[in-house]
Amino acid sequence: MNTRRPSKRQWKIAVLANIKDDNQPKPDNVPPDAFADFDHIETIDSLRAALETDGHTTVFVHADRELPYSLRKVKPDICFNIAEGLGGDAREAQVPALLEMLAIPYTGSRVLANGISLDKTLTKRIWRDRRLPVAPFQEFQFGDEPLRPELKFPLFVKPAREGTGMGVDMKAIVNNEAELRERAEYIINTYQQPALVETFLPGREFTVGILGRADAKLYSRHPEWYEKDGFHRFPVLELDTGNTEGPWVYTNEAKSKDVGPEGNEGFFCPANIDPELEKKLKHLAYRAHNILNVLDVSRTDIRLDEDGNPRLIEINTLPGLTPNYSDLCLQAAAEGISHTDLVLDILYLAAGRWGMIEPRELPSEQGKTGPLSYRLGR
């Protein structure tokens, strides 16, 4: 089967990102792990190389406060967006909102899904109201709110609107009222946002990647990846907690380097789990993705409670795409999907949504769902 996209012209693609500079001193009055979710230039280079393999030209554009002017100058056909944003409650929605205002197509989720997903409390409320399993939780705005009776120690405390493990270390686990108040106050004052308090989940931790949408087969270079519903569930990745003492926490430090001791990769993919649990984890990730109207790609973290029941932790609508490192790339590699193929499918799924390419002709059974098209007046 010829899996290359037919009748596609080559595009000028702007790769949008916030760059992490480990040699640059941090400004005053920012958290110690500020900018932890920014990307290294090596990640940008790998994305550009992948996109250029299919004949496109690329340019890297800093997602800084000059971005509106830079985009006017570059005039991209489409943007490959991995920008995390520059502060605020919904910073991951900043760049998508700007691109929609400027009528420029882009990859990944739109404004609302990116804004909601970064707000962990709001995300959990939506999941809970749709009867998805989450641990009992409470948001602390001030730190002195009465603790709800369903919340029992030990508890887990973290910023309500951050990612990449920011604000998470071993002190995130609190065992009594005094520790809770101290940690909540620290989070609120340091990160200038509410603290999310939830029941600590002591079990195994997994992450599940999702790629696609209802009409993915019409635009993908690899329609064979996708199930009848248009979605691809990546192999389940389990974080290796076997070499830790006491409760295990996926800290910001752990997310910034290989997890586990030297010589230990820090993960198992595919995870060594029974088929029933695997099916349940993939179904939860799929539902978590769709309930929030996430588009094209996501990665959902799930952890088991004390009884072995899976509970949703959070969803990442801008999953990392560093080859041989980011969880989603590791999951893809575990089933033989290259970094280049993964990146290009994310691109073409988005291009199909924005009406930039024509849908592939498929047999009627596969083509029942018509293409989704969002036009921005270009």
Q: In the predicted model, what is the mean pLDDT of residues 176-203?
A: 97
**Whether residue 22 has pLDDT greater than 70:** no
**Whether residue 264 has pLDDT greater than 70:** no
Beta strand pairing status for 310-316 and 296-304? antiparallel
Q: Which of 343, 233, 337 is nearest to 288 (CA)?
A: 233
Fold of the domain spanning 136-199: Dna Ligase; domain 1 (3.30.1490)
Q: In the predicted model, what is the mean pLDDT of residues 289-316?
A: 97
Q: What would be the CATH architecture of the domain defined by 12-108?
A: 3-Layer(aba) Sandwich (3.40)
Say what the alpha-carbon torsion angle 56, 62, 68, 71 is, to the nearest 10 degrees. Answer: -20
Which residue ranges make up each domain of the chain? 12-108, 136-199, 205-353
Cis amide leading into 270 (omega within 30) = yes
Give the pLDDT confidence score for residue 265 in this predicted structure: 62
Q: Do domains 12-108 and 136-199 have the same CATH topology?
A: no
> Rounded to whole angstroms, how far apart are CA atoms 61 and 106?
13
Q: In the predicted model, what is the mean pLDDT of residues 107-125?
A: 97
Among 35-39, 63-67, 264-268, 373-377, the minimum mean pLDDT is found in: 373-377
Q: In the predicted model, what is the mean pLDDT of residues 18-25?
A: 76
**Whether residue 8 has pLDDT greater than 90:** no
Give the pLDDT confidence score for residue 141 in this predicted structure: 97
In degrees, rounded to 5, the angle at the alpha carbon of residue 335 between the alpha carbons of residues 331 and 336 is: 110
* Average pLDDT for the chain: 89
Q: Which of 228, 220, 232 is nearest to 3 (CA)?
A: 220
Give the pLDDT confidence score for residue 261 in this predicted structure: 45
Q: In the predicted model, what is the mean pLDDT of residues 151-172?
A: 92
**Whether residue 138 has pLDDT greater than 60:** yes
Give the pLDDT confidence score for residue 335 in this predicted structure: 97
Q: How confident is the model at residue 269 (pLDDT cuts 50, 70, 90)?
A: very high
Give the pLDDT confidence score for residue 263 in this predicted structure: 42
Contacts by residues 49-56 (CB-CB < 8 Å, ≥ 24 positions apart)? 49/340, 50/339, 50/340, 50/343, 50/344, 51/13, 51/15, 51/80, 51/343, 51/344, 51/347, 53/340, 53/344, 54/4, 54/10, 54/344, 55/10, 56/10, 56/11, 56/12, 56/13
Residue predicted with more confidence, 265 or 89: 89
Tens of pLDDT, residue by residue over 210-263, are 999 999 999 999 999 999 999 999 999 999 876 555 566 766 555 555 444 444
Q: Which class would CATH give 205-353?
A: alpha beta
The secondary structure of 125-166 as a DSSP string is HHHHHTT--B--EEEESSS-SPPPTT--SSEEEEETT--TTT
